[in-house]
Amino acid sequence: MNWSDLRGDLEHAEKLESDLPYFAKTALLIRPKAGGLEPLVFNNAQLELHCQLEDQLAKTGKVRAIVLKARQLGISTAIAARFLKKTIQTPGIRTIIIAHTRSASGNLFKMIKRYIDNMPTDIRPSVGTANQQELLFDRVDSGYAVAVATEEGAGRSDTAQLLHGSECAFWANMQEQLSALLQTVPRLPGSEVILESTGNTYGDQFHQLWRAAEAGESEFQPIFLSWALQSEYRETPPEDFKRNAEENRLAELHGLDDAQIYWRRLKIAELRSEDHFKREYPLTPDEAFLAAQFDSFITPDLVMTARKAKDIEPYGPLLIGVDPAGAGADSTAIAWRRGHVIEKIEKRKGITTMECAGWITRIIQDEDPARVSIDVGGLGIGIYERLVEQGYGNVVNAVNFGSKPIEPPPLDETGRPGGGPLNRRAELWGNMKKCLQGRFSIPDSDSLQSDLCCVGYKYDSSGRLVLESKQDLKRRGMPSPDEADAMALCFTEPDGSPFVRKSNFNRTIIYPCGAYA
C-alpha cells in the first residue's frame, strides 16, 4: 500500500468517526419510498437538524432537544442514524427508543436492524442479542431498548445515555411518560434526549412542552422543521398555472416557488382541508397547533408579515418596554423600538430587582431612550422607584397593566361610553395590533410569534376588549408571553405612536400610527 492509499484510509476512518452525514452516506442503507435500498444521504431537513444538535452539543456538552416537524422529512431516520453511530462507536452506551404505537416501535427497530445488516463488514458491529425489544452489541457492551409509550411510563427501570422519543404528541399520558423517561438519562456530558413529533392538538402536553422550550423555561432547545425544507415537496405546475392572492402572500413570506405552491395546492385538495394541511405540513410552529376553538387576538399572518418586513428603516426616538419578572420561571424581557421597527427583544431569567434596575440604567446611559415604560403591576414598582431615585424620573414611565385605559372609551349611538379596552394591557395590545396591521417590522423570531399569537380574547357585557391574562395562560399550561408584553410596552402613546412628549409626558399632541404607515 502506498502513502496516498494509507492517507485515504486514515481520512476515511476519521470521517466515519467524526462526520455523521459521511457515516450515513457510507455505511447506512435505507428503503426509499420507491422501494429497494439506497445510501442514506441527508436531505435539507436532516442536515438542519444535525447542525442544530451539534451546535447545542458543542455549547452545553449534551443534547436536550424538542423537534416540531412536518410529515415525512426523515427525522426519525436521521435520529436513528445519529444514535446508532454513537451506540456502536462508544462502549457501554445504552439507547432507548420510545414510540407512540407498537407498529411504530417495530418499524423503528426494523430500520436499525436494516442499518446493521447492510453495513460494510469492516465496521459492522457484533450482535449478541436481537429481539423485538432489545438489541445488544456484545463486543462494546452497548445496545438498544425499544418500547411503546404507556400510561404507566415505559422505560422507568432503565438507565440510558441516549433517548429518542418518537411522535411524542401522540403518547398516552405524555407528562407521566416523560417524567419517567427523563429520570433514566443522567444529566451528564454526552447524554442526549431528542423528542420529535408532528403537532397534534392546541394546548396539549406536547404543545405546552414546545412553548416552554420556546420561552426558555426548560433546558430543551426548540427545533422547527418546515415542509419547505423538503426538496421532494414540489410538483411541476401546468402552463396555465396562476397563484391566487393567498398563494402570492405565502410565496413572498416564505420564499416559495411555483412548484412548491402547486404541490401545496394539490396536497390541500387531497386532504380536503387547508387547516388539516397546515397541521400536517406547517410553515410555522403556530400552524402545527391550529385549533378551531381558539381565536388569538393577534393573528399569525400579521406577525409573519412583520417578521419578513426587512425594508423598513428604524427612525425617530428610542422607546424601551420592560416586562419585569422575579426569580421564578418567567423571564424579564426588554424590547427596543424606533418608529415602525422593533429592533430587538432580550430576556434574562431569574434576575433580581436591583439587577434589572442596573440593566435598564446601562441602557439609559448608553442609548439615551426617549422613554422607558415599565409594568409596575408587580415587582416592576421596585425597579421603577429605584430608577427614579437615581435621577431618571424624566425617562421612566410607570405602566400598570391592570389599571384603567388612558384613552377614554368610544361613545355609542346614544352618546354613552361603551366598548374600548378593559384595562391598560388590553389598550397597549390594541395599539400594537393596529400598528402591525400597517407596515411594521419585528425580529424574525418563532418565540416572539408564539408569544404574540398565544393570547386569546373576548368581550365583556359592556363590549370591552378583555385579553387573556397571564394567569389564565398558565392554567392551560402556556408560559407567560414575556416578549410580547415587553413589546406592547413600546406602544404606550395614543394609537401606538412612536413619538412622545418628554415634558411631563404631555399627551395633548397625538401622532396616529397610521400616518406613518
> Residue 512: its pLDDT value, please?
40
* Calpha distance 411→299 (Å, rounded): 27
Residue 12: helix, strand or coil by DSSP? helix
Supply the DSSP symbol for 10: H
On average, the pLDDT of the chain sits at 86
* Calpha distance 462→420 (Å, rounded): 9
Residue type, 324: P
> Residue 83: its pLDDT value, please?
94
* Calpha distance 441→29 (Å, rounded): 46
* Calpha distance 43→54 (Å, rounded): 16
Q: Which three cell numbers, joined as nine digits, stand for 304? A: 409573519
> Residue 517: its pLDDT value, please?
28
Contact present, 35 and 244 (Cβ < 8 Å): no
> Residue 267: its pLDDT value, please?
94
What's the rounded mean pLDDT across residues 29-38? 84
Residue 373: partners with Cβ closer than 8 Å, 6 or more residues away: 319, 320, 321, 322, 396, 397, 399, 489, 490, 492
Domains of the chain: 43-225 (3.40.50.300), 227-292 (no CATH), 303-516 (3.30.420.240)
Q: Name which of 16-25, 234-243, 347-356, 401-410 the model is least confident about.
A: 401-410
Contact present, 30 and 77 (Cβ < 8 Å): yes
pLDDT tens across 109-126, in order? 888 889 999 999 888 888
Residue 410: pLDDT band by 50, 70, 90 thresholds? low
Taking alpha carbons only, the member of 486, 482, 477 closest to residue 210 is: 477
Look up the pTM and report it.
Answer: 0.79
> Residue 366: its pLDDT value, please?
97
Measured over the CA atoms of residue 314, residue 479, residue 361 and residue 504, the dihedral's sign is positive
Check pLDDT > 50 for residue 514.
no
Q: Which helix (H) or strand (E) holds 174?
A: helix 174-182
> Residue 505: its pLDDT value, please?
42
94-99 and 142-148 strand pairing: parallel
> Residue 506: its pLDDT value, please?
38
Three-class HEC string of 332-398: EEEEEEECCEEEEEEEEECCCHHHHHHHHHHHHHHHCCCEEEEECCCCHHHHHHHHHHCCCCCCEEE
> Residue 328: its pLDDT value, please?
62
> Residue 515: its pLDDT value, please?
34
What's the rounded mean pLDDT across residues 261-289? 90
Helix, strand, coil percent content, the chain, rounded in steps of 5: 40, 20, 40
> Residue 472: its pLDDT value, please?
86
* Calpha distance 319→396 (Å, rounded): 10
* Calpha distance 488→428 (Å, rounded): 6
Taking alpha carbons only, the member of 151, 172, 157, 158 closest to residue 100 is: 172
Neighbours of 312 (CB within 10 A): 14
* Calpha distance 425→457 (Å, rounded): 12
Check pLDDT > 70 for residue 39.
yes
pLDDT tens across 454-512, in order? 898 988 888 889 999 888 888 877 888 999 999 999 999 988 999 986 543 433 333 34
* Calpha distance 165→197 (Å, rounded): 8
Q: Name which of 149-163, 238-252, 279-293 the model is least confident about.
A: 149-163
Q: What b/e readout covers 40-60, taking b as 16+ CB neighbours within 10 angstroms?
A: bebbebbebbbebbeebeeee
- pLDDT-above-90 percentage for the chain: 52
Check pLDDT > 50 for residue 427.
yes
* Calpha distance 31→39 (Å, rounded): 9
What's the rounded mean pLDDT across residues 77-106? 90
The residue count of the chain comes to: 517
pLDDT tens across 351-406, in order? 889 999 999 999 999 999 999 999 998 889 999 999 999 999 999 999 999 999 98
> Residue 7: its pLDDT value, please?
56
Q: Which helix (H) or strand (E) holds 177?
A: helix 174-182
Three-class HEC string of 257-307: CHHHHHHHHHHHHHHCCHHHHHHHCCCCHHHHCCCCCCCECCCHHHHHHHH
What's the rounded mean pLDDT across residues 151-170? 75
Contact present, 448 and 442 (Cβ < 8 Å): yes
> Residue 470: its pLDDT value, please?
85
> Residue 502: its pLDDT value, please?
55
Supply the DSSP symbol for 139: T
Supply the DSSP symbol for 65: E
Q: Name which of 133-142, 260-269, 344-353 the model is least confident about.
A: 133-142
Beta bridge partners of 371: 319
Q: Which three cell numbers, joined as nine digits, stand for 506? A: 404631555
Contact present, 114 and 60 (Cβ < 8 Å): no
Taking alpha carbons only, the member of 250, 435, 425, 253 closest to residue 341 is: 435
* Calpha distance 332→327 (Å, rounded): 9
446-453 vs 205-214: helix crossing angle, rounded to 10: 120
Q: Which helix (H) or strand (E) holds 18?
A: helix 3-18
